């Protein structure tokens, strides 16, 4: 019977005593222990004996003493319920094999593009799990393919900005192209250990591997391999003439796994890297760099899409070669946002082929994080839908109306309400020669913040065409009017009157001070343009303000220039 086990059981007895007013109970101590440590089930009898002993001991202590001991000796048991609460709050299942303070996650984007809602998922989940277990999160830019996944200089910052906006915080940051020596030394390590070889057979190797054979250099001894490696580094081979391959099972059912390429030559005179130019010619592949880095950075849990499952299999060969303990890999399904273009190559093509048509990566017609932000989607809405799909392995499609519904709920409470009249009809007000004042709160939940709009007889007021044809209406906050012969005749200002007559309560704007406004509504790859005028108060809001345009929908102001406003329509 180990002393450790006795300690463990005593800890639970204290915890149970503290939780239940100073008196622990053997049965509930037992179920706590076996719930947290299912691996101990085979030793249940022994534990039962220890539990009886420990409960007796715990119950003999003064409650204050119980608390003090629990705090001092078993602080990890204090944390436990808090972590469960934190998990429940996020709706995420616990991470297998995770320990409080011992979790390291990472988000590893390729800076060849900005991120979209699909890549935001591993970012947000990695962040949430790191926080949930009070661990660390690493941000790592994977930019070791200057030829086919050419990194873009601005993408590093754009990705950082998107992540910050999403509320993702990282504790460490790395850029792989600045760590080339690390990959070189590990390549050497693999060759020395006989886990990798320099393949000089070029194209022929593919054929060979397809039939379960390999280049003859696979059999050469490590000394020869290292010599070739040095020649690769010295620039003696051209692109495709020499590659380093990892030795795998040559009969692996998936031919792409067989002796996969770990490092290759890229002619960086032709394909310079945006950060390191032509300084390196030998580049690690994603699979090699990721294995080395996940290990060196102490990553304990890799959260990624299931499209990486085969990569995981490849990466395990590197772990085996060095005798490293692999992290826990969690693969989740794909997340698509219905009706949005998210593919890097498609967006890039659209931008290139239609100069002037699209506004950039952050065009609200794209499903990029920046595009959604520019449209008026809140980071919290994205976080919520991603936590909702969590780490589920099945593919999921998020419809726009789904995302909009989550966003609307958040915005409805937060966004000020302002009047915008599309394509207005201007009508002269007749109020018996006098003036009226409308005092309208910006939000019904915050009645103290309000603006006053003064309208006098003879002034013009804009209504939508449809509202202008209604006969009798209530202009929000102002009064009840009859629309007759192109004029608005005041009936009275009583709200009860409006209610009893069930008058439509409509939005409007005074002509004086009205602000020209354009609201662009994304419709697939086009914009439907809504032109009109907003009430003067709209100028209190600058770019990036999210508003509810009364009876029109939610919008985000994008630009305010020379007294005119341009906004994007978010959703109804
Ligand atoms: N750079 C890889 C990607 O963006 C990382 C994948 C991973 O290993 O999680 O797909």
- The torsion angles phi and psi of 135, rounded to 5 degrees, stand at -105, -150
Return the sign of the alpha-carbon dihedral for residues 212, 216, 221, 225.
negative
Whether residues 346 and 421 fall in one domain: no
Q: What is the CATH number of the domain that holds 335?
A: 3.40.50.620
Whether residues 305 and 395 fall in one domain: yes
Contacts of 286 (CB under 8 A, 6+ apart): 142, 144, 145, 311
**Cα separations (Å) of 521 from 225, 298, 301, 529?**
60, 46, 41, 6
Whether residues 274 and 321 fall in one domain: no
Please report whether residue 88 resides in a domain: no
Whether residues 332 and 276 fall in one domain: no
DSSP state of 282: E
Return the percent helix, strand and coil in the chain, to nearest 5. Answer: 40, 25, 35
Domain termination site, one of 414, 430, 452: 414
What is the spatial distance between Cα 309 and Cα 312, in angstroms, rounded to a whole number?
A: 5
Please report whether residue 120 resides in a domain: yes
Whether residues 331 and 368 fall in one domain: yes
Whether residues 362 and 511 fall in one domain: no
Domain termination site, one of 414, 439, 471: 414
Total count of domains within the chain: 4
Please report whether residue 92 resides in a domain: no
Choose the residue to mutate in 105, 106, 110 for probing ligand 1, maximizing ligand atoms within 8 Å of C-beta: 110
Whether residues 430 and 543 fall in one domain: yes
What is the spatial distance between Cα 405 and Cα 261, in angstroms, rounded to a whole number?
A: 46
Choose the residue to mutate in 286, 288, 303, 327 for probing ligand 1, maximizing ligand atoms within 8 Å of C-beta: 286
Number of the ligand 1 atom closest to the C-alpha atom of 119: 4
Number of the ligand 1 atom closest to the C-alpha atom of 109: 4
Please report whether residue 513 resides in a domain: yes
Each of the 572 residues of the chain gets a pLDDT tens digit; together they read: 577 899 999 999 999 998 888 889 998 899 889 988 888 888 989 999 999 999 999 999 988 889 889 888 888 887 554 666 667 677 899 999 999 999 999 999 999 999 999 999 999 999 999 999 999 999 999 999 999 999 999 999 999 999 999 999 999 999 999 999 999 999 999 999 999 999 999 999 999 999 999 999 999 999 999 999 999 999 999 999 999 999 999 999 999 999 999 999 999 999 999 999 999 999 999 999 999 999 999 999 999 999 999 999 999 999 999 999 999 999 999 998 998 888 899 999 999 999 899 999 999 999 999 999 999 999 999 999 999 999 999 999 999 999 999 999 999 999 999 999 999 999 999 999 999 999 999 999 999 999 999 999 999 999 999 999 999 999 999 999 999 988 999 999 999 999 999 999 999 999 999 999 999 999 999 999 999 999 999 999 999 999 999 999 999 999 999 999 999 999 99
**Would you state the pLDDT for residue 83?**
63
Tell me the pTM: 0.84
Nearest CA to ligand 1 atom 6: 108
Whether residues 164 and 218 fall in one domain: no
What is the spatial distance between Cα 454 and Cα 448, in angstroms, rounded to a whole number?
A: 18
**Cα separations (Å) of 376 from 126, 213, 310, 371, 404?**
25, 55, 37, 9, 10
Length of the chain: 572
Q: Give residue 255 CA to ligand 1 midpoint distance, Å.
A: 21
Whether residues 227 and 275 fall in one domain: yes
Please report whether residue 251 resides in a domain: yes
Under DSSP, is residue 486 helix (H, G, I), strand (E, B) or coil? coil
| Parent domain of 188 | 180-284
Please report whether residue 97 resides in a domain: no
What is the spatial distance between Cα 230 and Cα 235, in angstroms, rounded to a whole number?
A: 9
Please report whether residue 83 resides in a domain: no
Nearest CA to ligand 1 atom 9: 304
Whether residues 311 and 447 fall in one domain: no
Whether residues 296 and 375 fall in one domain: yes
Please report whether residue 236 resides in a domain: yes
Domain termination site, one of 284, 302, 334: 284
């Amino acid at each position: 019977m180990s002393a450790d086990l006795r300690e463990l059981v005593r800890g639970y007895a204290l915890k149970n005593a503290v939780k239940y007013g100073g008196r622990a109970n053997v049965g509930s101590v037992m179920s706590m222990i076996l719930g947290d440590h299912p691996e101990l089930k085979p030793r249940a009898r022994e534990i039962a004996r220890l539990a009886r002993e420990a409960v007796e001991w715990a119950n003999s202590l003064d409650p204050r003493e119980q608390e003090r001991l629990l705090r001092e000796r078993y602080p990890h048991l204090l944390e436990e319920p808090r972590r469960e609460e934190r998990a429940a709050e996020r709706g995420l299942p616990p991470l297998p094999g995770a320990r409080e303070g011992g979790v390291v996650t990472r988000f590893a984007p390729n800076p060849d593009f900005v991120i979209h809602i699909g890549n935001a998922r591993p970012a947000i989940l990695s962040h949430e799990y790191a926080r949930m277990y009070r661990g660390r999160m690493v941000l790592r830019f994977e930019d070791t393919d200057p030829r086919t996944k050419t990194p873009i200089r601005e993408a590093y910052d754009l990705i950082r900005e998107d992540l910050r906006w999403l509320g993702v915080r990282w504790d460490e940051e790395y850029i792989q192209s600045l760590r080339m020596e690390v990959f070189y030394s590990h390549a050497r390590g693999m060759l020395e250990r006989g886990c990798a070889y320099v393949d000089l057979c070029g194209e022929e190797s593919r054929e060979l591997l397809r039939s379960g054979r390999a280049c003859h250099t696979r059999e050469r001894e490590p000394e020869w391999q290292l010599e070739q490696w040095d020649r690769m580094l010295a620039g003696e081979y051209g692109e495709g003439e020499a590659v380093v391959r990892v030795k795998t099972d040559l009969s692996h059912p998936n031919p792409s796994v067989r002796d996969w390429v770990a490092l290759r030559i890229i002619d960086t005179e032709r394909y310079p890297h945006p950060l390191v130019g032509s300084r390196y010619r030998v580049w690690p592949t994603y699979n090699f760099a990721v294995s080395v880095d996940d290990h060196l950075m102490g990553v304990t849990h890799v959260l990624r899409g299931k499209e990486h499952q085969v990569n995981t299999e490849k990466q395990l060969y590197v772990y085996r070669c060095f005798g490293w303990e692999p992290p826990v890999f969690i693969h989740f399904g794909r997340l698509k946002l219905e009706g949005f273009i998210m593919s890097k190559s498609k967006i890039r093509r659209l931008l290139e082929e239609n100069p002037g048509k699209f506004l950039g990566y952050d065009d609200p017609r794209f499903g990029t994080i920046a595009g959604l932000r520019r449209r008026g989607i809140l980071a919290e809405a994205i976080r919520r839908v991603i936590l909702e799909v969590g780490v589920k392995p099945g593919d999921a499609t998020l419809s726009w109306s789904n995302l909009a519904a989550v966003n609307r709920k958040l915005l409805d409470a937060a966004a000020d309400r302002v009047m915008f009249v599309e394509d207005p009809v201007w009508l002269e007000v007749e109020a018996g020669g006098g003036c009226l004042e409308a005092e309208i709160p910006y939000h019904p939940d915050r009645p103290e913040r309000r603006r006053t709009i003064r309208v006098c007889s003879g002034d013009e007021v804009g209504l939508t065409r449809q509202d202008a044809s209604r006969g009798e209406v209530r202009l929000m906050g102002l009064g009840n009017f009859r629309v007759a012969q192109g004029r608005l005749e005041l009936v009275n200002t009583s709200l009860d009157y409006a209610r009893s007559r069930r008058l439509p309560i409509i939005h409007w704007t005074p002509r004086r001070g009205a602000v020209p406004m354009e609201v662009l509504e994304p419709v697939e790859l086009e914009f439907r343009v809504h032109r009109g005028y907003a009430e003067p108060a709209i100028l209190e809001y600058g770019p990036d303000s999210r508003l509810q345009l009364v009876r029109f929908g939610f919008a985000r102001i994008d630009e305010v220039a020379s007294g005119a406003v341009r906004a994007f329509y978010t959703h109804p």
